[in-house]
C-alpha cells in the first residue's frame, strides 16, 4: 500500500482499519487508482467484488478494467467501482428479505480486509446488503459483532491498563479435509452431487491401526499441499501446519491466527482455492463433515482469543497478580457468556453435514460445555469462597500470592487436554471444536463475539455499580462479581468424558440443551432471548434473524432432499442393476449345474440358491424402502411451513437413508466385484 498509495490515502485506510473511520469519496478514488496499478502490475485484467452470501461459499462476478474511449480504449477503475456494486444477485438466498422483483442487493467495500489478486482478477472483499440495509451475507453481522466485542472488551481491559484503546478478536482455524483421487471420485454420483458417500461397505481396513494419523504424508498429497501453500503465501494467508489426520486420506491444514474477520476471509478463500489446486493434481478435496461412514469425519476447530492494541492476549495469564486478575476476568466472563447462551452457540454450527459428527463419539457431543482443566477448576473453586463486599488485607494478600499469582505456573502443568470437549481452554485461548469442516466460521464467530460482548458489558456495569454504591476498591468489586459469575455458570463446566451416556443424563439434569439434529438446534435462533440479544448488541435485527432462520431451514431441506434423490437413483440404477446381473449369472450357473449333474445339482448349487434368494430379499427391501422414502418426500414437499417441513425431512425422510444403505451395502458384499459399478471404499480411501 505504501508503494502504490499516496500518503493521504494510505493513512486513511489505516484509520479505517484501526479506528473504523470512514473513507472519503475523494480518497476512495485515490485508493482505487493505486489498487488498479498494483493489480495490473501483477497481471490482473479483471476486478470483482468478493463476498460471502448465505450459501456458505464465496461469490464473485468479474468485470474487466477495459473501457472504450473515443478512438481507443483504456483501463479504468475508480472510487465508485471500488466502493459499491450492484450485482444482479437475485438468486442468492435471502430468506425473503429482498423480493426477487426488486432484486437490489449491493456489495460494499470492506477496507478492513485486504484486496487480493487471484489468477488475473483483483478481488475486493465486500459485504452484501439489501437496499433496505439488511445484511444478506455472513460478513456484515460478523463485523458488527467484532465492533461490539472491541467496545465492551476495551472498557473492561481499561480496568487493568489505561493504554488499551482497541481489542481485536483473534481466530486460528484448523481445517480438516479429505483428498480423493479425482477419477475415482468422479465415478461416484453421490460424491459429485452431495459431497459425501451415501453408500459403501466399510473397507476391511479403516483407521483401526491408527497408522495414518501424523504418519508420513503421501507423495501426491504433499505435492498438492506444497502447491496450495505457495498459493496461500502469495495471497497472504499465513498457513503453517500440515499433517495427516486420523482417517485414511484425511488431512489438516492450519494457519497462524489472525484478526477474526481476516481469518474468516482467509478460510473462505482457502476452501475455494483448495478445490482448484487439487484438480491440478487430479485430486478432489472433500470438505463435507462426513464423507465416509464408519471412519472419522472432518471438523474445523476455531481457536479464539482477544488481543489488545498494546499486544496483550487477554486470555493469557501474565507475570503479575494484576495481569492474572485481568486474565481471570476475561476467562470467567467467557465461561459465563457460553453458559448463558449455549443454545445459540450450538445453533451457529448446525448443518445437515455436521449432524453426522456431533454426538457420534468422534467429534464433541451436541451438548455445549466448557473444559478448563483441573488446576483452573481449583482456582475457580477457591474464588467462589471470596468474601462478599470488602476483603480483609489478609484475604487480599492470600488471593494475590497464592491463588491469582500462581496461575501461570499452574497452566504450564495443565496438560490434560480433553478431546471430547466442545469448548476447551487450551492455555491462552479457547478452542471451539464443534464447528463443521464446511461451515463458514463467521456464524460461530458472530455468536461467540456477540455473547462475550454482551457479557463484558454487563460485567462493566456490575463492577462500576459496586465501586460506586458499595464503595469497593476496583479489584474487590471485580472479585465480587467474578464470584457470582463462577457460581452462576457452574452448569456449563464439565471435565469428564463428553462421549459417555452418563454425561448426557447429567447434562439433562443440569438443564443443558442436547439438540442432535439441525431442525431442533436451529429453533434457538429465533427465541425471544436470541432476538433481544442480537438487537441489543446491534448485530442482527429481527428481520435479518428470521430471514437467516429461513435460509438455514431451506438449506437443510434442500440438502436432505438432494441426498434422498441421489440415494434413490444410486440404489435403483446402480445397486439393483448390478445385483440383478450377478443374480442372473448365478441362475445360469444353477441351471447349468442342473443340466450337467441332474439329481446331484441340489447339493452342488445349494449355496448359490441361498445367495439368489438373499439377493432377491435385499432387492425387495431396497425397492420397498425407496418407494416409502419417496412417498414421505412427497408429503414433506407439500408442507408450507418451513420448520415443519424441515422436521419432516429430518424425522420422516432421512431415517430411510440408513435402511436403504444397509441393504445396498449388504449386496456389495455379495455381488461379483467385476459387476459392481460403484467404486468401493477401499479404492476411494487407499488410492494415494
Ligand atoms: P492444536 O493442538 O489443537 O493443533 P495448536 O497449538 O497447534 O493447537 O494451535 C492451533 C491453532 O490455534 C493455530 O491456528 C494457532 O495459530 C491458533 N492460536 C494460537 N494462539 C491463538 C490465539 N491467541 N488466538 C487465536 N488462535 C490462536
Ligand atoms: Mg485443535
Nearest residue to 666 via CA among 606, 605, 620, 632:
620
Judged by its nearest atom, the ligand closest to the C-alpha of residue 172 is 1
Question: Judging by beta carbons within 10 Å of its beta carbon (0-12, 13-18, 19+), is residue 408 exposed, middle or buried?
Answer: middle
Report how far ligand 2's centroid is from the alpha carbon of 174 (Å).
6
Q: How far apart are CA 408 and CA 376, in angstroms?
A: 10
What is the per-residue pLDDT across 354-372, written as a single tens digit (0 to 9) for each? 999 997 877 888 999 999 9
Residue 106's pLDDT is: 87
Q: Which of 429, 430, 431 to mutate to test the pocket of ligand 1 (most atoms within 8 A of CB)?
A: 429
Q: At what angle do helices 655-670 and 577-597 cross, to 10 degrees?
A: 40
- C-alpha triplet 338, 339, 344: angle, nearest 5°: 55
Report how far ligand 1's centroid is from the alpha carbon of 441 (Å).
15
Q: Whose CA is nearest to atom 26 of ligand 1?
A: 172
Q: How far apart are CA 417 and CA 498, in angstroms?
A: 12
How far, in Å, are 97, 292, 571 from residue 112 at the CA level? 26, 39, 50
Which residues of the chain have a pLDDT value below 50? 100-101
Residue 412's pLDDT is: 61
Which value, to the nearest 10 degrees, does the dihedral of the CA atoms of residues 627, 633, 635, 641 take?
170
Residue 120's pLDDT is: 94
Judged by its nearest atom, the ligand closest to the C-alpha of residue 433 is 2
Residue 100's pLDDT is: 47
Judged by its nearest atom, the ligand closest to the C-alpha of residue 168 is 1
Judged by its nearest atom, the ligand closest to the C-alpha of residue 260 is 1
Q: Which of 303, 318, 422 to mutate to test the pocket of ligand 1 (most atoms within 8 A of CB)?
A: 303
Nearest-atom number in ligand 1 for the CA of 303 is 26
What is the per-residue pLDDT across 90-111, written as a single tens digit (0 to 9) for each? 677 777 775 544 557 889 999 9
Give the domains, in start order, of the chain with CATH numbers: 7-137 (3.10.20.70), 145-540 (3.30.590.10), 555-686 (1.20.120.1560)
Render 333-393 in DSSP notation, one character per residue: HHHHHHHHHHHHHHHTT--TTGGGTTTSSSS--SS--EE--HHHHHHHHHHTTPPSSS--H
Report how far ligand 1's centroid is from the alpha carbon of 337 (Å).
21
Report how far ligand 1's centroid is from the alpha carbon of 344 (Å).
24
Residue 589's pLDDT is: 96
Polymer length in residues for the chain: 688
Q: Whose CA is nearest to atom 1 of ligand 1?
A: 174
Q: Using a 6 Å CB cutoff, which residues line ligand 1?
A: 170-172, 174, 254-257, 301, 303-305, 313, 428-429
Contacts of 134 (CB under 8 A, 6+ apart): 97, 98, 541, 543, 544, 547
ipTM surpasses cut 0.90:
yes
CB burial readout 300-339, b (16+ within 10 A) else e? bbbbbbbbbeeebbbbbbbeebbbbbbbbbbbbbbbbbbb
Report how far ligand 1's centroid is from the alpha carbon of 303 (Å).
6
Nearest residue to 481 via CA among 595, 604, 388:
388
Nearest-atom number in ligand 1 for the CA of 315 is 23
Report how far ligand 2's centroid is from the alpha carbon of 430 (Å).
10
Nearest-atom number in ligand 1 for the CA of 305 is 24
Q: Residues 127, 110: contact at Cβ < 8 Å?
A: yes
Nearest-atom number in ligand 1 for the CA of 255 is 14
Nearest-atom number in ligand 1 for the CA of 428 is 23
Mapped onto helix, strand or coil, the DSSP state of residue 65 is: coil
Q: Residues 440, 138: contact at Cβ < 8 Å?
A: yes
Q: Residues 190, 197: contact at Cβ < 8 Å?
A: yes
Q: How far apart are CA 366 and CA 566, in angstroms?
A: 27
| Number of Cβ within a 10 Å radius of residue 78 | 15
Report how far ligand 2's centroid is from the alpha carbon of 604 (Å).
58
Q: How far apart are CA 192 and CA 178, in angstroms?
A: 14
Nearest-atom number in ligand 1 for the CA of 174 is 14
Report how far ligand 2's centroid is from the alpha carbon of 243 (Å).
12
Q: Which of 146, 168, 254, 416 to mutate to test the pocket of ligand 1 (most atoms within 8 A of CB)?
A: 254
Residue 85's pLDDT is: 84
Amino acid at each position: 500500500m505504501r508503494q502504490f498509495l499516496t500518503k493521504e490515502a494510505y493513512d486513511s485506510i489505516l484509520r479505517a482499519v484501526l479506528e473504523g473511520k470512514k473513507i472519503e469519496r475523494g480518497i476512495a478514488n485515490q485508493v482505487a487508482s493505486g489498487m488498479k496499478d498494483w493489480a495490473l502490475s501483477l497481471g490482473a485484467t479483471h476486478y470483482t467484488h468478493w463476498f460471502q452470501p448465505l450459501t456458505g461459499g464465496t461469490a464473485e462476478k468479474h468485470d474487466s478494467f477495459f473501457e472504450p474511449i473515443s478512438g481507443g480504449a483504456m483501463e479504468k477503475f475508480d472510487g465508485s467501482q471500488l466502493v459499491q456494486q450492484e450485482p444482479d444477485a437475485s438468486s442468492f438466498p435471502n430468506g425473503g428479505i429482498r423480493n426477487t422483483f426488486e432484486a437490489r442487493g449491493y456489495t460494499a467495500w470492506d477496507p478492513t480486509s485486504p484486496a487480493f489478486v487471484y489468477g488475473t482478477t483483483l478481488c475486493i472483499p465486500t459485504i452484501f446488503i439489501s437496499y433496505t440495509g439488511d445484511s444478506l451475507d455472513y460478513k456484515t453481522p460478523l463485523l458488527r459483532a467484532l465492533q461490539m466485542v472491541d467496545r465492551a472488551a476495551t472498557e473492561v481491559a481499561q480496568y487493568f491498563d489505561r493504554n488499551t484503546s482497541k481489542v481485536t478478536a483473534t481466530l486460528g482455524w484448523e481445517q480438516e479435509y479429505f483428498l480423493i483421487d479425482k477419477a475415482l471420485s468422479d465415478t461416484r454420483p453421490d460424491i459429485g452431487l452431495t459431497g459425501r458417500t451415501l453408500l459403501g461397505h466399510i473397507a476391511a481396513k479403516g483407521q483401526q491401526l491408527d497408522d495414518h494419523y501424523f504418519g508420513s504424508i503421501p507423495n501426491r498429497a504433499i505435492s498438492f499441499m506444497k502447491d496450495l501453500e505457495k498459493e496461500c503465501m502469495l495471497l497472504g494467508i499465513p498457513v503453517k501446519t500440515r499433517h495427516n489426520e486420523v482417517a485414511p486420506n484425511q488431512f489438516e491444514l492450519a494457519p497462524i491466527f489472525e484478526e477474526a474477520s481476516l481469518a474468516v476471509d482467509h478460510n473462505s478463500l482457502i476452501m475455494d482455492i483448495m478445490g482448484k489446486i487439487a484438480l491440478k493434481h487430479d485430486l478432489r478435496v472433500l470438505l463435507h463433515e462426513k464423507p465416509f461412514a464408519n471412519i472419522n469425519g472432518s471438523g474445523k476447530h476455531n481457536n479464539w482469543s482477544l488481543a489488545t492494541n498494546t499486544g496483550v492476549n487477554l486470555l493469557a495469564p501474565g507475570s503479575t497478580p494484576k495481569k492474572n486478575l485481568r486474565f481471570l476476568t476475561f476467562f470467567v466472563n467467557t465461561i459465563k457468556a457460553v453458559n448463558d447462551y449455549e443454545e445459540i452457540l450450538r445453533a451457529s454450527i448446525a448443518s445437515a453435514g455436521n449432524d453426522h459428527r456431533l454426538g457420534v463419539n468422534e467429534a464433541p457431543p451436541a451438548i455445549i460445555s466448557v473444559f478448563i482443566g483441573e488446576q483452573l477448576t481449583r482456582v475457580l473453586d477457591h474464588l467462589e469462597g471470596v468474601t462478599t463486599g470488602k476483603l480483609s488485607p489478609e484475604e487480599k494478600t492470600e488471593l494475590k500470592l497464592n491463588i491469582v499469582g500462581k496461575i501461570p505456573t499452574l497452566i504450564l502443568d495443565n496438560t490434560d487436554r480433553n478431546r471430547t470437549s466442545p469448548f476447551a481452554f487450551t492455555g491462552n485461548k479457547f478452542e471451539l471444536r464443534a464447528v463443521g469442516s464446511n461451515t463458514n466460521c463467521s456464524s460461530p464467530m458472530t455468536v461467540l463475539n456477540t455473547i462475550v460482548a454482551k457479557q463484558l458489558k454487563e460485567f462493566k456495569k456490575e463492577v462500576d455499580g459496586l465501586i460506586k454504591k458499595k464503595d469497593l476498591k476496583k479489584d474487590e468489586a471485580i472479585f465480587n462479581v467474578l464470584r457470582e459469575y463462577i457460581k452462576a455458570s457452574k452448569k456449563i463446566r464439565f471435565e469428564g468424558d463428553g462421549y459417555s451416556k452418563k454425561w448426557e443424563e447429567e447434562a439433562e439434569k443440569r438443564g443443558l440443551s442436547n439438540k442432535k439434529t439441525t431442525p431442533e438446534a436451529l429453533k434457538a435462533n429465533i427465541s425471544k432471548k436470541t432476538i433481544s440479544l442480537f438487537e441489543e448488541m446491534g448485530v442482527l435485527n429481527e428481520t435479518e434473524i428470521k430471514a437467516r432462520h429461513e435460509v438455514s431451514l431451506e438449506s437443510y431441506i434442500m440438502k436432505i432432499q438432494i441426498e434422498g434423490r441421489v440415494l434413490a437413483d444410486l440404489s435403483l440404477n446402480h445397486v439393483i442393476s448390478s445385483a440383478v446381473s450377478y443374480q442372473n449369472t448365478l441362475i445360469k450357473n444353477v441351471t447349468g449345474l442342473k443340466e450337467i449333474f441332474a439329481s446331484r445339482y441340489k447339493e452342488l448349487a445349494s449355496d448359490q440358491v441361498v445367495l439368489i434368494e438373499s439377493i432377491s430379499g435385499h432387492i425387495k427391501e431396497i425397492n420397498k424402502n425407496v418407494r416409502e422414502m419417496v412417498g414421505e418426500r412427497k408429503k414433506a414437499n407439500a408442507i408450507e411451513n418451513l420448520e415443519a417441513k424441515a422436521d419432516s425431512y429430518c424425522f420422516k425422510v432421512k431415517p430411510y437413508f440408513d435402511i436403504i444403505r444397509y441393504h445396498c451395502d449388504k449386496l456389495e458384499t455379495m455381488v461379483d466385484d467385476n459387476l459392481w459399478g460403484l467404486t468401493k471404499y477401499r479404492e476411494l480411501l487407499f488410492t494415494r
